[in-house]
Amino acid sequence: MFQGLQGSLKPGTCPACAGDNQTIQFDWRVLLQGQPKLVLAQKFQFGSLLQCALCRQFWYLDAGEEKITFVPKDRVPLLKTWGTTSLSLSVELFQKAKTIGATPVHSLARKTEYAEVPCRVKTRDGRWTDKCLLIFTDAPPLEPDFGDARLLEEVVDIEPSAYALPAKVRLATCHSKTDEKGNARTWVRTDKDKLLSLNWTVNFVDYKKTKGSELILVSEKDPAFKKKMGKMALLQEPSLTLFMGHWSKEISKLGIS
Ligand SMILES: [Zn+2]
């Protein structure tokens, strides 16, 4: 997904001109060596929108000017709103988010300026959705993981979600260690001692009749569970509705620790 394309571009073209519609991100400095004709279409709060003078394809250049990301035509309006609107929490919602507590990035991730708040969300249309993540970052929702993400400006109220894991469990999943298969497990149990295994950072569980908020953290050293742990299948996180907000220093105060 992340390629250099060094030397393979004709001067004055962009990767889309070259017919590459499989790769969505390119190393900007390497690409510059091919002298692409990408002109500034709009400057954003974080990064900017570029457009190819030849094929009119839009690209997003990140604030650090390290990579450009392909912008699908139907995501251009959303990206423009993301780049020009203040996507922060009101004083009231900030307090509610702080009570829930933001999950930080995994301790093995490179990026640190990132936080996500798992909650129920009421949107402008008056509807409540149970399994939502408010995501605070300086990157727009262009990568496949954020395919159908919406913007924080749609959110009018939030509440704790019964499906969200307790803050202590979420924090433990952020510090999980990798095994030889590349999994990074955290074990939790129900009040009936049914054991479940989480992989990397997890915010929500909706599994059979078990809701995330009911789960209890299990120590790897606990002899009552130790035997079963290796055999546990990894639990899939349910599908979530994402709302993108902007990263700020203030957001770092939402974090659980
Ligand atoms: Zn082009």
Instruction: Quick: pLDDT tens for 202-217.
Output: 999 999 999 999 999 9
Which residues make Cβ contacts (< 8 Å) with residue 189, sequence separation at least 6? Answer: 195, 196, 215, 216, 218, 225
Higher pLDDT, 72 or 233: 72
Stated pTM of the model: 0.89
Q: CA–CA distance from 25 to each of 44, 72, 105 (Å)?
A: 19, 12, 22
Across 108-115, average pLDDT? 87
Centre of ligand 1 from the C-alpha of residue 57, in Å: 6
User: Where do the structural domains in the chain lie, given as residue ranges?
Assistant: 2-84, 91-161+239-254, 167-229
Across 147-166, average pLDDT? 96
Q: Which residues surround ligand 1, an ion (CB under 5 A)?
A: 14, 16-17, 52, 54-55, 57
Centre of ligand 1 from the C-alpha of residue 59, in Å: 10
Which residue type is seen at 162?
A
pLDDT digits (tens, 9 = 90+) for 7-53: 466 777 888 887 766 678 889 998 888 778 899 999 999 999 999 99
d(CA 39, CA 26): 16
**Window from 111-115, 186-190, 201-205 with minimum mean pLDDT:** 111-115
Centre of ligand 1 from the C-alpha of residue 111, in Å: 30
